């Protein structure tokens, strides 16, 4: 059975208190769901909250592994005089499992480019965590038919220095920018086409065939089952619909269906 993934990316939402309440609502529901997953390793659940929430949620989780923590970002240097930044090693030291790298909001608002993202991936790997690499075309690229070229460039220029063994540790999230937070979900044909395309790049260029590829962009409890049913969709990277525990549980159920 192929492993399935669901990640809640909380972006810049929730106070620490609200984050704790969410987890207190979610954890008992995860206990109830657990028998539905054939085995623990078949389902990987993650929350990617703000840096500030990570220690509080880590303390609440203790030794439980029913859901793991991701960070939304980290700095591209191992350490140094970078006021206000957070290193990969700091995140690993509090039990964070992985880091989102290359989310379109960071590419757009923080102007993060391909070489910078390549460095961040290295830092995450050095710290013993898993990189969750986000890619996806802009609306302009989709309209002009350049969607594949844009995603290909994102993958090639940020993954270029990785060995096949390192590529195998990645999770890829395909998130078309025009589908993020817009309610305009990609069609099943578009999703399947891009996942097949990304799979082809990973196997042709790196000889790696088993990297999970997730979809993200206006995924919600109503459309999740159809999206997760598409060929080679290993799960979802969820924004808005991950902010309420009940909605998040519905998405897990769609993944397990």
Whether residue 30 contacts residue 37, with contact meaning beta carbons closer than 8 Å, is answered with no
Of 92, 162, 237, 254, the one binding ligand 13P by CB under 6 A: 237
* Tokens 């609440």, residue located: 60
Of 202, 239, 251, 252, the one binding ligand 13P by CB under 6 A: 239
18 φψ region: left (φ > 0), alpha (ψ -120 to 50), beta (else)? alpha
Give the DSSP per-residue string, 188-222.
Answer: HHHHHHHHHHHHHHHHHHH------EEEESS--TT
- Give, in order, the Cα–Cα distances in Å from 227 to each of 43, 74, 100, 169, 257: 17, 29, 21, 24, 12
Q: Compare residues 30 and 186 and give the one whose CB is closer to ligand 13P.
A: 186
Single out the residue of 195, 203, 201, 198 nearest to residue 227, CA to CA.
195
Q: Compare residues 103 and 195 and give the one whose CB is closer to ligand 13P.
A: 103
Query: Is 175 one of the catalytic residues?
Result: yes
Single out the residue of 45, 46, 55, 48 nearest to residue 16, CA to CA.
55
- The least distance separating ligand 13P from the CB of residue 105, rounded to whole angstroms, comes to 7
Q: Which value, in Å, is the radius of gyration of the alpha carbons in the chain?
A: 17
Q: Does 175 bind ligand 13P (CB under 6 A)?
A: yes
Contacting ligand 13P within 193-222 (CB under 6 A)? 216-219
Q: Does 181 bind ligand 13P (CB under 6 A)?
A: yes
Position with the least CB separation from ligand 13P: 239
Identify the active-site residue in 53, 75, 76, 103. 103
Query: Is 195 one of the catalytic residues?
Result: no
Q: Does 28 bind ligand 13P (CB under 6 A)?
A: no
Identify the active-site residue in 105, 112, 137, 175. 175
Q: Give residues in contact with ligand 13P (CB under 6 A).
A: 9, 103, 175, 180-181, 216-219, 237-241
The catalytic site residues sit at: 103, 175
């Amino acid at each position: 059975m192929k492993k399935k993934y669901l990640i809640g990316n909380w972006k810049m939402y929730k106070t620490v208190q609200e984050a704790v309440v969410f987890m207190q609502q979610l954890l008992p529901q995860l206990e109830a769901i657990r028998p539905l997953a054939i085995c623990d390793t078949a389902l990987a659940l993650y929350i990617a909250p703000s840096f500030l929430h990570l220690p509080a949620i880590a303390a609440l989780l203790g030794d439980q592994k029913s859901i793991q923590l991701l960070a939304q970002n980290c700095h591209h240097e191992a350490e140094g005089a970078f006021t206000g930044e957070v290193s990969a090693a700091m995140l690993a030291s509090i039990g964070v499992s992985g880091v989102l790298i290359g989310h379109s909001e960071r590419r757009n608002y923080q102007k993060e480019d391909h070489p910078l993202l390549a460095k961040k991936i290295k830092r995450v790997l050095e710290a013993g965590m898993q990189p969750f690499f986000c890619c996806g075309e802009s609306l302009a690229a989709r309209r002009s038919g350049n969607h594949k070229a844009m995603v290909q460039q994102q993958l090639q220029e940020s993954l270029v220095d990785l060995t096949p063994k390192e590529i195998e540790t990645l999770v890829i999230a395909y998130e078309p920018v025009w589908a993020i937070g817009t309610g305009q979900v990609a069609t099943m044909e578009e999703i399947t086409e891009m996942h097949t395309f990304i799979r082809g790049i990973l196997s042709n260029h790196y000889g790696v065939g088993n990297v999970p590829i997730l979809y993200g962009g206006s995924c919600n409890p109503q459309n999740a089952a159809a999206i997760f049913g598409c060929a080679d969709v290993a799960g979802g990277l969820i924004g808005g619909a991950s902010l309420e525990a009940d909605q998040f549980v519905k998405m897990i159920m769609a993944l397990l269906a």
